[in-house]
């Protein structure tokens, strides 16, 4: 089963650089927003799992920038869970400009599940079950 979620966002003036295009790192912020909302859509609230001493830090990120986004563009951020390993998860993202659905950026993040001690731990069964349903 493919776990996928989409969110809409709009480019703020503050998201742009001196060349009046979106500063590249903001795409990673949108990747994060997509990931958090995908988890929420499956009943996993990130703040709640942190209260349990479970964290999911990024250990790898990759992004291919294909076209610029500019102030006031409406964007669609598509996020999918590509893989759940023993202690890790890989999310893939695509950012499109609306209404044309022009692909602006695609990339992925890999996360390891760690406890409050910062050491890797198996993906909790409850999280795995919610992401598999």
pLDDT in tens, the chain (133 residues): 578 999 999 999 999 999 999 999 999 999 999 999 999 999 999 999 999 999 999 999 999 999 999 999 999 999 999 999 999 999 999 999 999 999 999 999 999 999 999 999 999 999 999 998 7
Q: Which candidate, 80, 73, 125, 127, places its Cα nearest to that of 106?
A: 80
pTM recorded for the entire structure: 0.93
Domain span at residue 48 reads 3-132
Task: Check which CATH number belongs to the domain holding 113 and give it.
Answer: 3.10.129.10
**Domains in the chain, number:** 1
Q: Which candidate, 67, 72, 71, places its Cα nearest to that of 101?
A: 67
Structural element, H or E, at residue 15:
none
């Amino acid at each position: 089963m493919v776990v996928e979620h989409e969110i809409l966002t709009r480019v703020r003036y503050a998201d742009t650089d001196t060349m009046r295009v979106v500063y590249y790192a903001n795409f990673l912020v949108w990747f994060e927003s997509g990931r958090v909302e995908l988890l929420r859509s499956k009943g996993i609230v990130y703040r709640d799992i942190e209260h349990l001493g479970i964290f999911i830090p990024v250990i790898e990120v990759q992004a291919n920038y294909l076209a610029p986004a500019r102030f006031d563009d409406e964007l669609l951020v598509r996020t999918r869970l590509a893989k759940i390993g023993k202690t890790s998860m890989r999310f893939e993202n695509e950012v499109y400009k609306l209404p044309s659905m022009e692909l602006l950026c695609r990339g992925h993040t890999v996360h390891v599940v760690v406890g409050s001690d910062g050491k890797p731990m198996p993906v909790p069964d409850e999280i795995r079950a919610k992401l598999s349903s």
